[in-house]
Structure 1
Amino acid sequence: MAALLETKIGHKFSDPTLLESALRHRSIGSRHNERLEFLGDSVLGLAVSETLFERYPEASEGELTRLRARLVRQATLATVARSIDLGKALQLGPSAGRSGGSDRASILADALEAVIAAVFLDAGFKISKEVTLSLFATEISNLKEGTIEKDPKTQLQELLQAGGTTPPAYRVTSTSGQPHEREFVVECRIESHKLVGTGRGSNRKEAEQVAASHALDELQRR
C-alpha cells in the first residue's frame, strides 16, 4: 500500500520510515503522526502562500489570505486525501477504525499534512512543494481571484455591521469524544434577531464557522 501511495503522490522515499510514521494515527499508539502533522501544516502553508503570491501579483493581502484559507481548510485537505486513497493506507487503532476513521475529514486532513512533512524531511522543500502543487493542482486551478467568498463568520459579521446590529456571540456548548477525535458544538447567537445557529466540528474554529453558516442561512431567509 505504501508503494502505491508513493506512486500517487509522485515521490519515492529514500527513508521509508518517514512515510510509515506519517500514516500512523494517534489511536494506533506510539510513533504516531502528530509531530509530522505539525510540521506539514507549515510546509503546506508556505508552499501554498508562495504559489498564490506568484500566481496573483495584483491580489491584496486579504484576497491572498482568503485564497490560502480555501486551499488549506480541512474540507479541501480531505478531498485531496481521498483523491489519492490516503484513508486506505492509514494505520488506525480499533476504535478509530470501527468508527469510520479512515474516511473522517479531520483524520484525512491531518494525515495529508503529515505526508507532506514526510516528503519535506526526505527530500527538502523544493520537492515537497512540487508534490504539494501536484496534489492540489485541481483545487488551485479552480481558484479565481476576486470571486472567492469570504468565510461564513466574516460574511455574517459584515452583514450585521451593515445593518447597525451588534456582532454575534459564539459559545461552546459541549465537547465530546476521545482527545484524538474530539467534537465541539458551538452556538452562534444573534440577540437582536432572536436567532441561534448551531455548528459541530473537530475544533472550535471549525464549529464556529459551521454555526455562523447556519445563522447566516436563517438570517437571509427572513
Structure 2
Amino acid sequence: MNIERKNQLLKFQERLGINFENLYILNTALTHSSYAHQYNLKYNDHNERLEFLGDSVLSVIVSEYLYRKYKNKQEGKLSRIRAGVVCEGSLAEVARKLEINKYILIGKGEELSGGRDKDSLLADACEAIIAAIYLDKGLEAARNFVLKYLTDKIDVIVKDHNYNDYKSKLQEYVQRNLLSTIEYKVVSESGPAHDRTFHIDVYLDNKCFGKGTGKSKKEAEQRAAREALNKLGVEEGE
C-alpha cells in the first residue's frame, strides 16, 4: 500500500467515524474483484469474502433490532421489513452517503462500464465494510455503524407499511393455491451499460400476470410481482 492510498483510506475512515487498527482490511473492503483480476492479486485481496461475511453480520444486527423493537409483529412481517432494509437499493444509498465510489478500487473495464455508480457494486462494498468493521473493531462497533445509517430507513419502512416483499408474497400465493410454476422473464433491457432499465414479466402456469420496470432486475421483478398480486386480488397488507 503506497502513501497516497494510505492517505485516501485515512480520509475515508474519518467519514466512517472509525479508526481501524488494520488499514489493510479496509483497503480490501474497498477493492473490487475486477481490480484484483486486472493486477493479478490473490483472491483474498478483494472484497468478495468480506461481502459474504458482511451480509450475515448485517442480517443479525437488523434482525435483532427488529426483534427487540417491534414486539407486536409476527415473523413474516419482520422478514419483509428486513428484506426492505438490507436490499441492494438501501445499501447503495448508504454507500453514496459515504462516497464509497470515490475510494473503491475497480478495474478499467468496470470503470468504463459505469461500475463506480452501480447499485450492486456499491451495495457489495457496503457489506464488505460492515464485515471489516466487525473484524477490526467487534460486533458492537458494527452494530453502531449499521444502526446509525439504517435505523431511519427501518422506521420509515414500518411507518409507511412499505415492507412488502412482493416476490415472497406471490410465491406464498402460488404455494397456497397449488399452482405449479412461477417464472420471471426479462422482456427487454434499455439504456447505457451504466444506467440500464429492465423490463420483466412474471408468469404463473405460463400465463403472464404482471409486468415490471426497474433499474435493477430485482426492482423490476418486485414491481411485476406487485402487479400480479393486484390482479389476483391480494391486498398489500395481507
Identify the TM-score tier after normalising by the shorter chain. Answer: 0.7 to 0.9
Residue 33 of structure 2 is aligned to residue 20 of structure 1: no
Would the aligned equivalents of 1:39 and 1:117 in 2 still touch at CA under 8 Å? yes
- Where does residue 55 of structure 1 map in the other structure? 69
How many pairs are equivalent? Answer: 212
Q: Secondary structure at the match of 1:142?
A: helix
- Where does residue 3 of structure 2 map in the other structure? none
Quickly say closer, same or farther: Cα 1:140–1:208, change in 2 above 3 A: closer
Quickly say closer, same or farther: Cα 1:23–1:166, change in 2 above 3 A: same
Cα displacement string for residues 7-63 of structure 1 (whole angstroms, at most 9, x for unaligned residues): 222211010001000000011023110000000001111111111111112221112
Cα distance in 2 between the residues matched to 1:21 and 1:211: 37
Cα distance in 1 between the residues matched to 2:149 and 2:53: 18
Unaligned runs of 5+ in 2: 1-7, 190-196, 234-238
Residue 98 of structure 2 is aligned to residue 84 of structure 1: yes
Which of 1 and 2 has higher RCO (CA within 8 Å, sep 6+)? 1
TM-score by length of 2: 0.74
Q: What residue identity is the alignment partner of 1:209?
A: Q
Superposed CA RMSD: 3.5
Q: Secondary structure at the match of 1:43?
A: helix
Which has the higher mean CA deviation after the structures are superposed, 88-97 or 207-216?
207-216
Residue 44 of structure 2 is aligned to residue 37 of structure 1: no
Residue 219 of structure 2 is aligned to residue 212 of structure 1: no
Quickly say closer, same or farther: Cα 1:34–1:197, change in 2 above 3 A: same
Quickly say closer, same or farther: Cα 1:137–1:161, change in 2 above 3 A: closer
- Where does residue 78 of structure 2 map in the other structure? 64
Quickly say closer, same or farther: Cα 1:198–1:41, change in 2 above 3 A: same
Cα distance in 1 between the residues matched to 2:214 and 2:158: 29
Unaligned runs of 5+ in 1: 177-182
TM-score by length of 1: 0.78
Cα distance in 2 between the residues matched to 1:157 and 1:80: 29
Cα distance in 2 between the residues matched to 1:8 and 1:141: 24
Would the aligned equivalents of 1:186 and 1:199 in 2 still touch at CA under 8 Å? yes
Q: Secondary structure at the match of 1:197?
A: strand
Cα displacement string for residues 112-160 of structure 1 (whole angstroms, at most 9, x for unaligned residues): 0000000011011111111111122331332326924422224546778
1:71-220 map, 5 Å: 71-144=85-158, 147-156=161-170, 166=179, 169-171=182-184, 187-190=201-204, 194-195=208-209, 197=211, 208-213=221-226, 215=228
Which has the higher mean CA deviation after the structures are superposed, 127-136 or 152-161?
152-161
Q: Secondary structure at the match of 2:158?
A: coil
Correspondence for 1:2 among 3, 9, 26: 9
Quickly say closer, same or farther: Cα 1:195–1:71, change in 2 above 3 A: closer
Cα distance in 2 between the residues matched to 1:70 and 1:194: 25
Quickly say closer, same or farther: Cα 1:167–1:111, change in 2 above 3 A: same
Quickly say closer, same or farther: Cα 1:58–1:198, change in 2 above 3 A: closer
- Where does residue 236 of structure 2 map in the other structure? none
Would the aligned equivalents of 2:181 and 2:206 in 1 still touch at CA under 8 Å? no
Quickly say closer, same or farther: Cα 1:90–1:210, change in 2 above 3 A: farther
